[in-house]
Amino acid sequence: MTIIVTGGAGFIGSNFIHEWFSNENEDLINIDCLTYAGNLENLKVLNENKLYHFYKNRIGDKSDIEKILNRFNPRAIINFAAESHVDKSIYGPESFFKTNVMETLSLLEVTKNYYDQMPEISKKKFKFIHISTDEVFGSLQLNEKPFKESNPYLPNSPYAASKAASDHLVRSFNKTHKLPCIISNCSNNYGPFQYPEKLIPLVINNALNLKNLPVYGKGNQIRDWLHVKDHCKAIITILEDGAPSETYNIGGSCEMENIEVIKIICNSLDNLRPRKDKKKYEDLIKFVSDRPGHDLRYAINSDKIMKELKWKPKIKFSDGINDTIEWYLNSSEWLMNVLDKSYDIWMKKNYNKR
């Protein structure tokens, strides 16, 4: 049997592939177009694995995707492929809607055609799993209950809007074409291989280079933190036991203010890699103007997946963040390589215009 993963060279996708091969003995096809955030170095230990196959394609490359489906006859497709950085979506939204909406539509169309031609016995086992985000639900006030699967979609950034649109497309193919689709909406992930545009690796990298640690507003934005390994185990659980037509929220049950997370990282680095000038890493914190439309709080209610599929997060933030910091400390070459890509050029060009 075979599964296909799209966007498998990115942060969550590559962690999923590692998790898959730590327990499974089944072929996996990785389709990724290798944008700045996609890095085959994340998966180099699998280069000699005969069960692992890589294809450099966009999910909108209909003809090539069709050939891959017909060659490998997968029992499932897990769609991680997405543009995902909120700041970038604010100043350059077009690529987000191209990838997250139009190319997801292309992938769905090709998958539908493949599914329609499958034998009935194979249809009963097939699943299209679409990986989404809690940001589609918008922002919570401090006194509001965490997002449930039934919450209305109220996206506040172009990124969130593009993901909301893709979720609606997936749902429509399920309801209209009977394609067996499942949507998962996860909270903020952290862990190895995350591109340093995101909060935790950005703070680690800037701190180690004695650069300012920019904090939007007062840093009181609240996020629910989920270790990527727990997320990947949840997706495997959904693949094996999840019901088509369902949506599942995946959260870490770990709400923290951004400023608190930053200070935890600084304190950990003070112990693991003390500054030569004897100063504290917290001294590098610099409060900057908040970004437009910045959501105050995200929080996920994971009761459904915990009750129905018996999954729950196992990695405590205190353990996960220390392991993550140590991974980055031991991966300086990886960090240098991923930073030597077009994203930095794009950011400098666009942020200089602000």
Q: Which helix (H) or strand (E) holds 78?
A: strand 76-79
Computed over every residue of the chain, the mean pLDDT equals 94
Question: What is the span of the domain harbouring residue 47?
Answer: 2-190+226-253+297-315
Give the model confidence (pLDDT) of 263-303 as tens digits. 999 999 999 999 999 999 999 999 999 989 899 999 999 99
Which pTM value belongs to this model? Answer: 0.94
Query: Annotated catalytic residue: which of 83, 103, 134, 295?
Result: 134
pLDDT at 341: 62
CATH number, domain containing residue 93: 3.40.50.720
pLDDT in tens, 209-228: 999 999 999 999 999 999 99
159 has catalytic annotation: yes
DSSP 4-54: EEESTTSHHHHHHHHHHHHH--SEEEEEE---TT--GGGGGGGTT-TTEEE
Catalytic residue among 32, 135, 230, 255: 135
Degrees (nearest 5) of the Cα angle 83, 84, 89?
A: 85
Helices (H) and strands (E) counted in the chain, each on its own, are: 14, 12
Q: Residue 340 falls within a domain, yes or no?
A: no
Domain assignment present for residue 339? The answer is: no
Is residue 107 a contact partner of residue 79, using CB atoms and an 8 Å limit?
A: yes
Whether 260 is covered by a domain: the verdict is no
Residue 180, pLDDT > 70, answer yes
Rounded Cα distance, 245 and 249, in Å:
14
**328 is annotated as an active-site residue:** no
Name the active-site residue from 114, 159, 190, 343.
159
| Count of structural domains within the chain | 1
Helices marked H in 124-187 = 158-177
Crossing angle between the packed helical segments 11-23 and 228-241, to the nearest 10 degrees = 60
